[in-house]
Amino acid sequence: MSDSLWQQIMQQVRQHSAPEVIEQSLDDRDCESLKLPSISQSAMSVLEPYAELVWDLNQARQKPPFPPAYVPKSVTILYEDMPFIRWEDGQFTLIRNCPNAYHPRFTEIQFDDQTALFLVSGEAIVNRIGAMATFAEQLEQAVVQG
């Protein structure tokens, strides 16, 4: 993975704390029952039209964080559910042009096709890479000190 790409991902992680794990079960995919506790009203209003996505985010929030030293084989960055960058086995396999003025309402970063980080206007809805950021910071400090 490119150092600058990893640094950008880690910068996003440092800006956001991990959301709480959902306590309710989701047996019904009805939009009324799909709520994401502990997120802002503005983020929820962006996600409300996407019932299936909200259901998927609830599932992702229930998964454990990635281990601190986890190294993904693939990283995909999606803007509004559209893949824009994909990195697999050390090579970029997809890079879409994106206008400088484009500001997606939501961004998803996937590791090995699993949601690792999901942001709505900069607010972390799913953050499964917090332990990786801590590990990266510790590794950085060890290199600087050593």
Q: Which domain holds residue 19?
A: 3-145
- What does the pLDDT read at residue 5? 57
**φ and ψ of 30, to 5 deg:** -55, 135
Name residue 106's beta-bridge partners: 120
Token output for 73 = 């084989």
- What does the pLDDT read at residue 19? 36
- What does the pLDDT read at residue 94? 94
Q: Domains in the chain: how many in total?
A: 1
Question: Which residue stretches of the chain have pLDDT < 50?
Answer: 2, 13-33
- What does the pLDDT read at residue 56? 92
